[in-house]
Amino acid sequence: MTRRQIREQIFQILFQIEFHPGEELKEQLQYPVWDREETDPDTVYIQEKIYAVADKVAEIDGMINAVAKGWKTTRMGKVDLTLIRLAVYEIKYEDAIPTGVAINEAVELAKIYGTEGSSAFVNGILAKIV
Q: What is the pLDDT of residues 62-79, one digit of tens each?
A: 999 999 988 899 999 999
Reported as a pLDDT band with limits 50, 70 and 90, residue 53 is very high
Phi-psi region of 60 (alpha: psi -120 to 50; beta: other; left: phi over 0): alpha
DSSP secondary structure string for all residues of 9-71: HHHHHHHHHTTS-GGGHHHHHHSTTTTS-TT-HHHHHHHHHHHHHHHTHHHHHHHHHHH-TT-
Give the residue, 71 or 86, on which the prediction is more confident. Answer: 86
Residue 118 has pLDDT above 80, yes or no: yes
Share of the chain above pLDDT 90, in %: 65
Residue 99 has pLDDT above 90, yes or no: yes
Residues in contact with 24: Cβ distance below 8 Å, sequence separation at least 6, in sequence order: 17
pLDDT at 40: 80
Reported as a pLDDT band with limits 50, 70 and 90, residue 116 is very high
pLDDT at 73: 92
CATH class in words for 3-129 = mainly alpha
Q: What is the pLDDT of residues 3-42, one digit of tens each?
A: 999 999 999 989 987 787 666 666 666 655 555 566 788 8
Residue 86 has pLDDT above 80, yes or no: yes
d(CA 128, CA 130): 6
